[in-house]
Structure 1
């Protein structure tokens, strides 16, 4: 704007940092402390998988793998263009309104975009923690009763309220309130889970929650989290303000039906059984994400 003087920048006689500023102390590695009963993760700690799109990746819990995969070599960094094929398939389906190829797109997304079931499960580990938290709450409701569980969570005023009200009030406890993208995806998946559960289980009574109902609710949550992770990675055109809401909901519904059909029969018995061991629930849920993604990659 004509008001700035021509500067030559820092030089030995004019350092960038003034000499009167005290030098910073050397960095010290934080001491490693044992994980307490209220701390996560409960599984083995590994380096997070690399991402290319700025997605939150501070999770370090890796899913428990089958015995023949223990001790596997660290994953090779994924290529920057790993989503290209699945993005093209997704965009074609949306533009042509022909969803016959979406199943192949989902398989390609897991195999190439996520780098396979193991890396994909690691990337979804924050959603896994939320599913485990939801499972713990449902287990408490079954064992201790709805009123006692809600009172412990400072939600005692919701006793007697409709299912949708109670489940909605649990969102912060289940999913957290952080601004991380992964957690935002998880919260949206939880909200969609409530909508689907209320629609598909009109007679659901949390006062008399059955083991089968709890397992079904966890399965829906896990499936929805995979769908929304996929949309965030390869279908962002459906998440912008200019997207047609009706079209976006239709695409999401198609994707859910595909994922549900690929994984539901594999994960439902495992999820139901996992709630019998609350101490290892988080570890088991992380493993079941691997089972779900592996079912997608091996589906016909």
Structure 2
């Protein structure tokens, strides 16, 4: 949760879909496309052309009520102060965030901003590595020198492609989510990039999406709350339970989307990632409602 303390949180009057989602720089970042007949000029043989990824401009929508963040923040603070024992408060915080503060699962997915673009790049890269092999996927990005290196080095080398440098909070969320994903590789038993299985590739994307949603929630309703428990073990318990809660929803979302997950064009990759985020938020609201009733 590297971003949980970096931002003052969204204001009650913030638009449901922030204006930075229409940033042309974020909207035109390249994604590895599905195999095409010809590579870009000067690229290595067999390389995939990096086509621009366009995102429709959607005008910001105004908040349905001026205090939509208040109840989710209050419940999240209650959960944090309990040291992770008040699961009902966590359920109410997450459910209220999706249904009220974010304006529903679809709008919550749209709030992911740069994490949508980064997720599409990561998903496309992993799909290409599965289809043509890790070395060829790296060669398509002129990163063939990373072949054979430890998996952490490979993914660190991909960082600027997956998450281009930028200074906004939204871009920081995407970068932190990717770095947290790299840190979790060993814990998941993912140690050899050249031997990545389809299930491991799915796990990598699942971790990124879960970290990105977790960071988005923390920046919107959990800022400073995570620091409230004075016991370090309690802080770690709060962080772990929030991530596990989000990861369950992302895992369910990816399980539902798995039959359609294949080699995609850049726009299809973004649509797939949006669908995963939306389904994950939908599952989060359902899980939150169930937890709050216990």
- TM > 0.5: yes
How far residue 171 of structure 1 moved from its aligned partner, in angstroms, is 1.4
Counterpart for residue 233 of structure 1:
220
> Pick from 75, 78, 93: which aligns with 1:92?
78
How far residue 271 of structure 1 moved from its aligned partner, in angstroms, is 5.0
CA RMSD of aligned residues (A): 2.6
Instruction: Map Cα deviations across residues 182-217 of structure 1 (whole Å, 9 max, x no partner).
Output: 110111111111222321124x43213222221221
How far residue 111 of structure 1 moved from its aligned partner, in angstroms, is 1.1
SS in 2 for 1:282: helix
SS in 2 for 1:170: helix
> Pick from 277, 283, 289: which aligns with 2:264?
277
Counterpart for residue 153 of structure 1:
141
Q: Does the 8 Å CA contact 2:72/2:221 hold for their aligned counterparts?
A: yes
Relative to structure 1, the CA distance from residue 271 to residue 189 in structure 2 (aligned partners, 3 Å threshold; closer, same or farther) is: farther
Moved more, 150-159 or 268-277: 268-277
Counterpart for residue 78 of structure 1:
64
Q: Does the 8 Å CA contact 1:212/1:272 hold for their aligned counterparts?
A: no
Correspondence 1:295 to 2:283? yes
Counterpart for residue 39 of structure 2:
none
Correspondence 1:184 to 2:197? no
Counterpart for residue 175 of structure 1:
163
Q: Distance in 2 between matches of 1:124 and 1:244?
A: 31
Instruction: Map Cα deviations across residues 114-154 of structure 1 (whole Å, 9 max, x no partner).
Output: 11111111111321111110011112222232223223323
Q: Which has the larger radius of gyration?
A: 1
Q: Distance in 2 between matches of 1:286 and 1:222?
A: 11
* Contiguous gaps of at least 5 residues in structure 1: 1-34, 51-76
Correspondence 1:103 to 2:91? yes
Q: Does the 8 Å CA contact 1:131/1:285 hold for their aligned counterparts?
A: yes
Correspondence 1:46 to 2:34? no
Moved more, 228-237 or 136-145: 136-145
Q: Distance in 2 between matches of 1:243 and 1:271?
A: 42
Q: Does the 8 Å CA contact 1:86/1:108 hold for their aligned counterparts?
A: yes
* Contiguous gaps of at least 5 residues in structure 2: 1-27, 31-49
Instruction: Tell me how many residue pairs correspond in the alignment.
Output: 237
Counterpart for residue 114 of structure 1:
102
Counterpart for residue 267 of structure 1:
254
Relative to structure 1, the CA distance from residue 143 to residue 269 in structure 2 (aligned partners, 3 Å threshold; closer, same or farther) is: same
How far residue 89 of structure 1 moved from its aligned partner, in angstroms, is 1.1
Q: Distance in 1 between matches of 2:75 and 2:176?
A: 24
Superposition pairs for residues 214-233 of structure 1, below 5 Å?
214-233=201-220
Q: Distance in 2 between matches of 1:142 and 1:165?
A: 19
More helix by share: 2
Counterpart for residue 19 of structure 2:
none
Q: Distance in 1 between matches of 2:102 and 2:211?
A: 16
TM-score in terms of structure 1 length: 0.70
Q: Does the 8 Å CA contact 1:274/1:285 hold for their aligned counterparts?
A: no
Moved more, 230-239 or 246-255: 246-255
TM-score in terms of structure 2 length: 0.72
